[in-house]
Amino acid sequence: MPESSYLICTESPDVTQAAAVALAGLHEEMLPRPFRVRSKRMETIDTVTLEFEAADGGPPLSFQPGQFTMLYVFGVGEVPLSISGDPEAPGVLAHTVRAVGAVTNAICALVPGDSIGIRGPYGTGWPHAQGKDLLIIAGGIGLAPVRPLILNALAHRDEYFCVGLAYGSRSPGELLYTSELEAWNARGDINVQVTVDHGNPTWRGDIGVVTPLVRRLRCETDDTIAVICGPEVMMRVVARALEDRGIASNNIYVSLERNMECGIGLCGHCQFGKDFVCTDGPVFPYADVAYRLGIGAQ
């Protein structure tokens, strides 16, 4: 045997140990699973809620409220979307999607029985607020990522003190989950406040931005968790209103959006200052991102 054959399969010890761990999860994190559309409900003129079920016989896709997945439509592409369903019934995976681009238009055009690829869940979830007051402020499509949190809080209502929801949309026709909003309000144990920018002849609710509604959400404890989901400018204004009410900025949480592509912090597209939104977020304590949100083009 020639001496040189000794060299076959030699390894640099520096990374061998880490590699042994790593190879066990070869691309699993980025490998989509086939899902099938189970049901479809029109929410507004351009927004639908789709329920998916795994088509590979695998386990349900368990998730934390606030996490997102990557949805893939064959031949069209892939987008990040927050999960909008019940975390305690993950066998049905719900996404509420607004048709704004090529992929979301294709997703909105799916019908029950259609096949799709889903990978995830990715990212951080909303904080645990058990034993505390929970205030939720959402704008527009931003109600979708907090819906799992609301469903979970209402399923375990006795574990919280005050629970309040302030929701603003552009018009009555663009409100999501209207029958659910009615049902939540009818329970009496969650303070539901809804406003629209522009009313219509039959609208009897509030008109205007969501910020003033924040003052109507009651808190019983000094330990209040507030979560905000909506356009960045709305989240900044609402966060300041919450701070004015005495809620500490590290008890306020926001969900940010950037160009999430890989979902696992390795492609760089969603970098926002020191964070990769896909793994360090999308949910951040407002105290961590307040300064950055004030600097443009980041």
Partner 1 sequence: MGWLFGDRNTAEPHRYAQTNGDIVSARVIQGDLFESLIPMLISSGYRVVAPTLDEGAIVYDVIDDAADLPIGWTDEQGPASYRSYDRGDDVYFGYSVGPRSLRAFLSPPHLTLLTITRGDTDLAFASDEHEGRAYAFVGVRACDLAALAIQDKVLVESRFVDAAYTSARSRSLVIAVNCSVAGATCFCASMGTGPRCSSGYDLVVTELVRGDAHEFVVESGTDAGADILGALGSREASPSDITDAADVSLATERAISTSMPDVDTYTLLTDNLEHSIWEDIAQRCLSCTNCTLVCPTCFCSTISDFTDLAGKATRTKSWDSCFSLDFSNLHGHPVRTSSSSRYRQWITHKLAYWYDQFGSSGCVGCGRCITWCPVGIDITEEIQRLDSEAQEVPV
Return the residues of window 162-201 that contact partner 1 according to CB under 8 A: none
CA distances from 296 to 77, 233, 271, 273 (A): 29, 11, 14, 12
Helix %, strand %, coil % of the chain (to 5)? 30, 30, 40
x/- letters, 44..73, toward partner 1 (CB under 8 A): -----------xx---------------x-
Nearer residue to partner 1 within complex by CB, 9 or 111: 9
Task: Give the burial string for 217-230 (b: 16+ CB within 10 Å, else e).
Answer: bebeeeebbbbbbb
- Tell me the closest approach of the beta carbon of residue 172 to partner 1, in angstroms: 23
Nearer residue to partner 1 within complex by CB, 4 or 200: 4
Nearer residue to partner 1 within complex by CB, 89 or 266: 266
**Contact (CB, 8 A) for 132 and 225:** yes
Nearer residue to partner 1 within complex by CB, 56 or 158: 56
x/- letters, 248..287, toward partner 1 (CB under 8 A): ---------xxx-xx-xxxxxx-x-xx-x--x--------
Nearer residue to partner 1 within complex by CB, 11 or 158: 11
The rounded radius of gyration (Å) of the Cα atoms in the chain is 22
**Contact (CB, 8 A) for 69 and 96:** no
Assigned token pair, 238: 């609402």
Quote the CA–CA distance of 83 and 148 in Å, as a whole number: 8
Nearer residue to partner 1 within complex by CB, 150 or 256: 256
- Tell me the closest approach of the beta carbon of residue 193 to partner 1, in angstroms: 27
CB-based contacts of 117, cutoff 8 Å, min separation 6 = 32, 33, 34, 35, 71, 72, 73, 74, 78
Three-state DSSP class for residue 173: helix
Instruction: Give the residue, chosen from 33, 128, 236, 245, that forms a contact with partner 1 under the rule CB under 8 A.
Output: 33
CA distances from 285 to 127, 235, 243, 293 (A): 9, 12, 13, 12
Beta-bridge partner residues of 46: none
Q: Is 7 in the site for partner 1 (CB under 8 A)?
A: yes
Nearer residue to partner 1 within complex by CB, 25 or 188: 25
One-letter amino acid identity for 146?
A: V
- Tell me the closest approach of the beta carbon of residue 151 to partner 1, in angstroms: 26
- Tell me the closest approach of the beta carbon of residue 117 to partner 1, in angstroms: 5
Q: Is 11 in the site for partner 1 (CB under 8 A)?
A: yes
**Contact (CB, 8 A) for 248 and 190:** no
Residues near partner 1, by CB under 8 A: 1-16, 18-23, 25-27, 29-34, 36, 55-56, 72, 74-75, 77-78, 100-101, 115-117, 257-259, 261-262, 264-269, 271, 273-274, 276, 279, 295-298
